[in-house]
Structure 1
């Protein structure tokens, strides 16, 4: 083992010729999405000084959100006048100025055009006067608005007008369009199951289309409770609630697909379309089910959508946390979709004053420059390892204010330019499996909601080894040959077809499978706790964590989410033969060439690699460290993030 006090390599991480020669040596090719990645800047406000700093750091792509609406604080998103002024009436001078002002700062600027599809106040008032009531306000009541033909027509007209104008005036300067709507423009529905006339009619139509007997919209008191321990719904008596949850998501997704198809018809094929969607790992507090994101698989399968976006999780941002995407990364990769990682983390210099009366000081920032450097390097590394686009989101300004912060950005941009698009496969030997169909059974008001996926993901962030996130429906086509441990925290519904998938593709080859709380309790028709033992070999709610040897696989059952600590998961991973990169409870991201490790506490650590190599190069500092017997030693600052390239 060797100390990190090695030599410092000179110049760029790799020469262009070396990178090309090395990249062509690897099998496989970039997908269309990966070939058009973005390293970009975004702010709600026109922060021209920051734009100039990013221009000087080599960042020419800027996201512009010409919003017509207010944010969740009741403040206008945009400093410019609204574009959408009335039915068929648009202030394109305001739209032009937002783009032209950026071009005045950076003549090489290219754009991500974020289109605000939420309801302006005037449209809400006009549709209400026509008798549409709450079914015309999309920011909060998204599924209600999506069920309203009058809202969809007006909004589709506005979308088409903006796209046509942007194509005519800015053409190939536009790299992508983002369609934005719903709560915080992330296609989240906060109606919590509410239905007016239009949505009620849409529910009746949906039932007929699916060959079901027509039943009323479920009452609120039924939406807020569940038959089994107030956690899970019984399909025998609550099938209508489960189906209504699916209908709500379908209503949003159908609208998205319609808007996407309209946009695709107006733009050339190389122009990309993206959106925020698929937050199954993040949505808690009455949002897992009713926010509508559980139907993400339909969007991820759409040939018209090129990439998806999410902020880094809000649930694991402090030092030592693992961050992570809000969406199942493995699912989007299997569908050939790109991803844009939103780095909207607060630094000590971020602006908290939106006006003299409204402050966001409660949004806790990283504490100092050292945390800012380590945190930003963590977020950049997460994007680089996973071949993701990103934007540095300056929100209301000040986030990237210091020269030290901009030096981190500039260095990360150079590293990202070289490595982000290389066709490198993931190195995960651990898989977290999410199950959106089972999630429909969950009572959104249950305290287990935040533990199922967000809590389990945060625990895996401290495994000391990388993991990938798949959806249950991915299992037949995912390459699981390297996976030794799979974690199923929310597979409550196990139909005969799903059990066949497990038997054929997962429960074999000496793997370990971890199940939590009530796995397989539903067969899609009824609930029966005895099914837990049939699957795992352990009775329902047997206390603690139990391991049972099955035929060529090991079943692990945890009665409660709290029982799956980082230490327990590490022990299970070691027994399954998973490579533990670092013995500390720290996050690790890795592909077949790169390894990133984030630390809250500094000091010298031994790092174990999954394969032999001659040396590693730490890409933020360009230091080179020799490797012996797949191990090397590295001294981390406190806090720190290191991104290593394995050199054969």
Structure 2
């Protein structure tokens, strides 16, 4: 099976030039289409130019040779990176020799404390280095002599900086010359050390190093039919009057194609300006109310940054199209925090952005929205504010909770407006750069962006909106974006978990964009890593395969794209046994590509972006359990669910039988009426404070109109619900919620005893189930849901449950993917009396509707109903019957 543009697997090049690579909606499903041929969006992501050597408790001499890819211009330096595993590394006897002349270009034996100071430097050199310390040891080196001791510790702020050491004397490396490098290494724990020689500059140019895992993984991907390759490249950003340096860009592209001549390139492009630009334009750099940031990018509100960055981006894309265009499938611009277009340091305690550029943009935004001082004063209920002098909300104001965890209109409209402003500014920046790529590539290539982490940012202490990721609906309207992506959620991704999406992914798909999972699973080959999600990684080959099988089956059944990511650039996927998982799923991919129906699950989890603008500082007491953590019980309820924006429900784009409104706090009277009409006859789960925020109407009246329940605000009680006798009869066995007082909090006042399923500690009705003329409704006052409550609701709404116990289920077409949440026998109801097979083994499992499967926690199985479709054999063969 061919996965890229009709190209052959690894071997002699039969490459067809890439004329077009775009996403096109075919029969209601966004598809990756290359040269007019739909192909599975399956990609490998790795980082070229990263040589890796092992280090462990037994000291050893490391030797490697390389031929310089480019000229060092008398400025080359040797760099060593030690990963993100706390512990000690000992370094001694570093040599670099020209093999032709025998000339010793560099030599350091660390015979005294002065050797390091004379020959090496540490990066970062300032307070940003919270993890690494170097010292001289007199007796720990080779043959018991002196050596350099590097001590790594966990960072205080949870973020590992790019700690490394590099040689200070410049090395006279010459292009085409051959060199030998040797050094002695020892570590208290098994780890990988990255070694590379660079020519410093803007950007740094890789000259050589030991063999790295990137070429091997590119070849393994090709053997599994995956020719799409994504990888980072530098962004040349010269000073005024200087010309861009393309050497580093071309070197990286060449390395990819040397590894697989049939590769289709999707370079990842950094959009943050260089340090000299920030120094030259301090008013356009991001600013926080607290110190301690690892780095300072440009403010996305700065029109100067946007225009200059877009110019550099266009120039880069034009160069790549001219030199490598026949190989390029698309472009992925990245910026801000970890390149994912959320405000730098979002997960920290500081508030951004207090730069002068942002203050100016804020005034322009308010003038555009309100036009006159009188309109602003009325909206803010403040007769003193003026459009020409209004300042950014102070940090004290932004951390205030005048009305509790949800900001009220008018009295807190300045905070609501600023939240909306932050989303629009970020969304406009993303769309601006997308347009630059679209124009520079003549509209022929993919445009890829990280954005829209609707569910993931529910866990932010400062409030979800401080991320800037709640302008998704605006971004979805851009014609210049093909693919939106994120990592698999870092919540519930481990063995037994559901691997949820960070975004309202089904809304992304319904807008004609492709949603893509970055599968940065920590495999068993990355035990020494401390990247995000490391604690939920796999420690064995079998567990790695099970996680990858779960993840890739999910994206196939939801029609997502994915890339398998060597996040640490140390060979996380450098094992043919891992790539067997990708190959084994080719028949499933092909079936879903050619005849798979759209993913239309019976359950929809819904979030309203406008409501999120009201989430105050500290609102994670609500949004973390209700929007972030809720994906765990949703994933285990026994049937698939989709993730949507409320705007899609308004539009009639969500056909689910059961709608779970996680954040529907701010609705106008017209919207309330529209929502009731759009959901008529279907089960509604109204979570925490539905319809509470109004434009001056009585909140209780608005909530009654929306939900059908009479409510009252309750105080002096924890937001915790304990099942009633009625609730226990219907399947509730445990209490749930948050064991703290929160404001606001609501109870139902007009429920009879048969309707009340759970009560607050004060005895008032917290969870109420009622059948109304427009369908059944479940009111859940606490900001939390459980899998058993969701199953209870599903039964009331006529939703098919594949199982009545906790298990992670993904289903579409003839396929049902199961990932066990615990050990035991899982009773499955496939829904019909059809024949059922095990997709991976081809084994007949009997005839439905009911089956019993013995499974271990973390085990993944894929069932096929009606027709027998079998995984591709591990020897490269396969069958589809």
TM-score when scaled to structure 1? 0.86
Q: What displacement does 1:534 show?
A: 4.7
Q: Are 1:197 and 2:356 an aligned pair?
A: yes
Question: Which residue of structure 1 lines up, in the alignment, with residue 368 of structure 2?
Answer: 209
Bigger Rg, structure 1 or 2: 2
| Structure 2 alignment gaps of length 5 or more | 7-25, 50-213, 346-350, 377-386, 713-745, 748-759, 761-765, 868-881
Measured in 2, the distance between the counterparts of 1:365 and 1:319 equals: 8
Assess if the C-alpha contact under 8 Å between 2:39 and 2:593 holds in 1. Answer: no
Measured in 2, the distance between the counterparts of 1:237 and 1:107 equals: 62
Secondary structure at the residue paired with 1:309?
strand
**Coordinate RMSD, CA, aligned:** 2.8
What is the 5 A alignment of 1:456-605? 456-481=630-655, 483-506=656-679, 508-509=680-681, 511-525=682-696, 528-529=699-700, 531-536=702-707, 537-540=709-712, 541-542=746-747, 543=760, 544-562=766-784, 564-605=785-826
Question: Which residue of structure 1 lines up, in the alignment, with residue 310 of structure 2?
Answer: 156
Measured in 1, the distance between the counterparts of 2:474 and 2:548 equals: 32
Q: Are 1:433 and 2:606 an aligned pair?
A: yes
Q: How many residues align?
A: 597
Secondary structure at the residue paired with 2:628?
helix
Assess if the C-alpha contact under 8 Å between 2:524 and 2:540 holds in 1. Answer: yes
What is the 5 A alignment of 1:329-344? 329-344=505-520
Assess if the C-alpha contact under 8 Å between 2:29 and 2:509 holds in 1. Answer: no
Question: Which residue of structure 2 lines up, in the alignment, with residue 374 of structure 1?
Answer: 546
Q: What displacement does 1:436 show?
A: 0.5
Measured in 1, the distance between the counterparts of 2:705 and 2:828 equals: 40
| Structure 1 alignment gaps of length 5 or more | 1-10, 17-26, 69-82
Assess if the C-alpha contact under 8 Å between 2:401 and 2:617 holds in 1. Answer: no
Q: Are 1:86 and 2:239 an aligned pair?
A: yes
1:442-465 CA distances to partner (integer Å, 9 max, x unpaired)? 014322221231122222111010
1:292-340 CA distances to partner (integer Å, 9 max, x unpaired)? 1101101112111111101111011122211111111221122111121
Measured in 1, the distance between the counterparts of 2:216 and 2:256 equals: 11
Cα 1:504–1:472, aligned 2, differ >3 Å: closer, same or farther? same
Assess if the C-alpha contact under 8 Å between 2:545 and 2:578 holds in 1. Answer: yes
Measured in 2, the distance between the counterparts of 1:86 and 1:351 equals: 41
Q: After alignment, is 268-277 or 406-415 more displaced?
A: 406-415
What is the 5 A alignment of 1:174-323? 174-190=328-344, 192-211=351-370, 212-213=375-376, 214=387, 215-229=390-404, 231-283=405-457, 284-285=459-460, 286=462, 288-323=464-499
Q: Are 1:643 and 2:816 an aligned pair?
A: no
Assess if the C-alpha contact under 8 Å between 2:676 and 2:706 holds in 1. Answer: no
Measured in 2, the distance between the counterparts of 1:480 and 1:296 equals: 17
Measured in 2, the distance between the counterparts of 1:172 and 1:94 equals: 19
Measured in 2, the distance between the counterparts of 1:350 and 1:36 equals: 30
Q: What displacement does 1:479 show?
A: 4.4
Q: What displacement does 1:274 show?
A: 1.3
Question: Which residue of structure 2 lines up, in the alignment, with residue 75 of structure 1?
Answer: none
What is the 5 A alignment of 1:159-174? 159-174=313-328
Secondary structure at the residue paired with 1:265?
helix
Question: Which residue of structure 1 lines up, in the alignment, with residue 27 of structure 2?
Answer: 28
Assess if the C-alpha contact under 8 Å between 2:606 and 2:660 holds in 1. Answer: yes
Measured in 1, the distance between the counterparts of 2:320 and 2:294 equals: 24
Measured in 2, the distance between the counterparts of 1:638 and 1:51 equals: 32
Secondary structure at the residue paired with 1:145?
coil
Secondary structure at the residue paired with 2:475?
helix
Q: What displacement does 1:622 show?
A: 2.9
Q: What displacement does 1:185 show?
A: 0.5
1:252-285 CA distances to partner (integer Å, 9 max, x unpaired)? 1112222111211121434111101100110122
Measured in 2, the distance between the counterparts of 1:525 and 1:272 equals: 46
Q: Are 1:383 and 2:577 an aligned pair?
A: no
1:564-583 CA distances to partner (integer Å, 9 max, x unpaired)? 21111111111211111012
Question: Which residue of structure 2 lines up, in the alignment, with residue 7 of structure 1?
Answer: none
Measured in 1, the distance between the counterparts of 2:225 and 2:590 equals: 10
Measured in 2, the distance between the counterparts of 1:243 and 1:527 equals: 22
Q: After alignment, is 522-531 or 148-157 more displaced?
A: 522-531
Q: What displacement does 1:195 show?
A: 2.4
Measured in 2, the distance between the counterparts of 1:269 and 1:613 equals: 49
Assess if the C-alpha contact under 8 Å between 1:521 and 1:530 holds in 2. Answer: no
Cα 1:486–1:277, aligned 2, differ >3 Å: closer, same or farther? same
Question: Which residue of structure 2 lines up, in the alignment, with residue 625 of structure 1?
Answer: 845
Secondary structure at the residue paired with 2:663?
coil
Question: Which residue of structure 2 lines up, in the alignment, with residue 6 of structure 1?
Answer: none
TM-score when scaled to structure 2? 0.64
Measured in 2, the distance between the counterparts of 1:558 and 1:94 equals: 56
Q: After alignment, is 488-497 or 549-558 more displaced?
A: 549-558
What is the 5 A alignment of 1:140-151? 145-151=299-305
